[in-house]
Structure 1
């Protein structure tokens, strides 16, 4: 069989999911080469910091919505059948305040806040909550069964599944995307396709340098307190760039309190004043966190900052020849990296197979 040699740059959720789906196909020898690996915590490496969950914000009838739709099935399967992956089911409530209409957060969450979003027919148990059950200031709300992912378990699980399928992992930093095809990177020598899953670093990678990719800074507080469910609200009274959401990670991963969406900010250190606002909003929205008491009753594990790799125009899934090598891109998912991961990875694998057919035709 004609063996196809592939190098995937990047070991975030996009790179690992792409490598996993490709490794399930016969005839591929895959190397994941990355600066950061699961277990690392670095501001350039967004995946460990994510919540992470399934809460689609993609607009209906778009490629992005299709990628999100195609991701629900695999995540549901993991939650049902593979507890070792660190994914569990969790009720997700979406709260809307009429006064947030037109705000940055409400625009970002427009589809999510809809009383009849496209994903209502995808996720289980979607319904509208009765008005009398809502807290003060909340004008409407929906609820559905979602999943929440413990990234500290899930990312290593993806690596383990790749290793089981023969994928090789190595540390590498590439100044240019074509350097991933250079001698010594792949054990078989020649490289047929390079897959670019560099996230935010696609803005700096030579040969790509996509300046439409910018950070959207997120700050979270991780606590031991259990919220019991996932909640998100359409906005806050603390400014356009701030948000309020709560989710409890699977398998003892703690509860995430967030957050913010600070477009263009590379600041890596937590802002203590923002942390206080995040905690106050969370305790007000979910009194069960502290049994109705104040933020001093939150048991903090750590503060975190992650940079979502936001791309103008959304995720880039495309193939092109760069310096004679086929390069397939999968980057720019912003804050949706987990909830579109399988859909995007499958679309990427389809392009890798196209590129490999072209390589074979040239031989």
Structure 2
């Protein structure tokens, strides 16, 4: 019996983590091909994962629907505590609420390269190619099968039983009009500076810097990239904004807040006590109305192939990558037993 073949589209944090999970799952053995037009080390507005700050923080809101998640976070997050704002000097003036905990920060470029190396070491067939999206989902399946078969004689048309779609915002080009309408960018902008900050900090819902500035979609964070000698300053969450260009005025506001609230004084090593800027970058987080889509496409195969989607993770791509890859693996394993 031929080995079942899985094709994965996309080599961002979701695609790479999914490839690694499916390949290492002890409950099933698959031949896997990873197809993407962008890989770690590439620079493109269509490749968002390298632009991330990538820390971990609880995702539960104050909504009653997230009550169970809040309890879970409280029990598993180390050193979680609500700040006593009268005693703590960690919060800026005017803060009304704050929490602290131990967290994890990543050197994003290094982490993506690490995942790609592990994927290759595991024997995944890694291909750089552009899949034709002009003929909808069925056309994508057909072209992905063609690319996989042309890359290795070990794959035949009948062997490809599943395609995992990890294309983020790219999915809007082929998932169908109704589903595509649910996808939207959440623009982010960050500054990379020299030095690694002593703490990971995030501030939200703060008073505007100026009455003439509409900054309700802005937030302030300082995320060190361990081992890289750099730190990420941010940021914003601009829903529906596709602009790939750096907004220098926004950069100025981010730096002004970080200085005002003394969030990274140890990094002010430049001339006149300023930060030493390495670069500025823009990324388009893959938003989706209704939240992430991690599920099978319909109830039937598409051109003889089961399609499993994993996209729409918005600003939580790194935080949700392991859990979503586990869900994809569970779905695929169930399909393999049919």
Q: CA offsets, 1:42-80, max 9 Å, x none?
A: 1111100000111132458999999xx8xxxxxxxxxxx
Match for residue 312 of structure 2 among 329, 332, 335: 332
Structure 1 counterpart of 2:81: 127
Q: CA offsets, 1:137-162, max 9 Å, x none?
A: 12232110110111110011111111
* In structure 1, distance between residues paired with 2:233 and 2:221: 6
Structure 1 segments unaligned to the other structure (5+ residues):
70-115, 359-363
* In structure 1, distance between residues paired with 2:317 and 2:102: 19
Match for residue 281 of structure 1 among 257, 261, 264: 257
Question: Residue 319 of structure 2 aligns to a residue in which SS?
Answer: coil
Match for residue 41 of structure 1 among 40, 43, 55: 43
Does residue 189 (structure 1) correspond to residue 156 (structure 2)? The answer is yes
Question: Residue 104 of structure 2 aligns to a residue in which SS?
Answer: strand
Match for residue 170 of structure 2 among 201, 210, 214: 201
Q: Identify if the C-alpha distance between structure 1 residues 171 and 295 changes in structure 2 by more than 3 Å, giving closer, same or farther.
A: farther
Contact persistence 1:216–1:307 (CA under 8 A): yes
Q: Identify if the C-alpha distance between structure 1 residues 260 and 296 changes in structure 2 by more than 3 Å, giving closer, same or farther.
A: farther
Q: CA offsets, 1:159-202, max 9 Å, x none?
A: 11111111011012121431344334243122111100000111
Structure 2 counterpart of 1:91: none
Contact persistence 1:317–1:329 (CA under 8 A): yes
Q: How many residues align?
A: 310
Contact persistence 2:295–2:309 (CA under 8 A): yes
Correspondences of 1:292-331 after superposition (within 5 Å):
297-320=274-297, 321-331=301-311
Q: Identify if the C-alpha distance between structure 1 residues 314 and 65 changes in structure 2 by more than 3 Å, giving closer, same or farther.
A: farther
* In structure 2, distance between residues paired with 1:215 and 1:315: 13
Correspondences of 1:92-111 after superposition (within 5 Å):
none
**Structure 1 residue 226 displacement after superposition:** 3.3
**Structure 1 residue 295 displacement after superposition:** 8.6
* In structure 1, distance between residues paired with 2:271 and 2:97: 26
User: What is the TM-score of this pair, normalised by structure 1?
Assistant: 0.79
* In structure 1, distance between residues paired with 2:169 and 2:67: 21
Q: Identify if the C-alpha distance between structure 1 residues 60 and 348 changes in structure 2 by more than 3 Å, giving closer, same or farther.
A: farther
Does residue 214 (structure 1) correspond to residue 177 (structure 2)? The answer is no
**Structure 1 residue 254 displacement after superposition:** 1.1
User: What is the TM-score of this pair, normalised by structure 2?
Assistant: 0.84
Structure 2 counterpart of 1:95: none
* In structure 2, distance between residues paired with 1:312 and 1:61: 17
RMSD: 2.6
Contact persistence 2:184–2:239 (CA under 8 A): yes
Does residue 351 (structure 1) correspond to residue 324 (structure 2)? The answer is no
Match for residue 227 of structure 2 among 242, 251, 265: 251
* In structure 2, distance between residues paired with 1:288 and 1:34: 40
Q: CA offsets, 1:201-224, max 9 Å, x none?
A: 111135586221110000001101
Contact persistence 1:279–1:295 (CA under 8 A): no
* In structure 1, distance between residues paired with 2:21 and 2:67: 20
Q: Identify if the C-alpha distance between structure 1 residues 226 and 65 changes in structure 2 by more than 3 Å, giving closer, same or farther.
A: farther
Structure 2 segments unaligned to the other structure (5+ residues):
134-138, 210-214
Larger Rg: 2
Contact persistence 2:142–2:303 (CA under 8 A): no
Contact persistence 1:217–1:265 (CA under 8 A): yes
Question: Residue 137 of structure 1 aligns to a residue in which SS?
Answer: coil
Match for residue 158 of structure 1 among 81, 103, 115: 115
Match for residue 143 of structure 1 among 88, 100, 114: 100
Contact persistence 2:188–2:238 (CA under 8 A): yes
* In structure 1, distance between residues paired with 2:272 and 2:4: 55
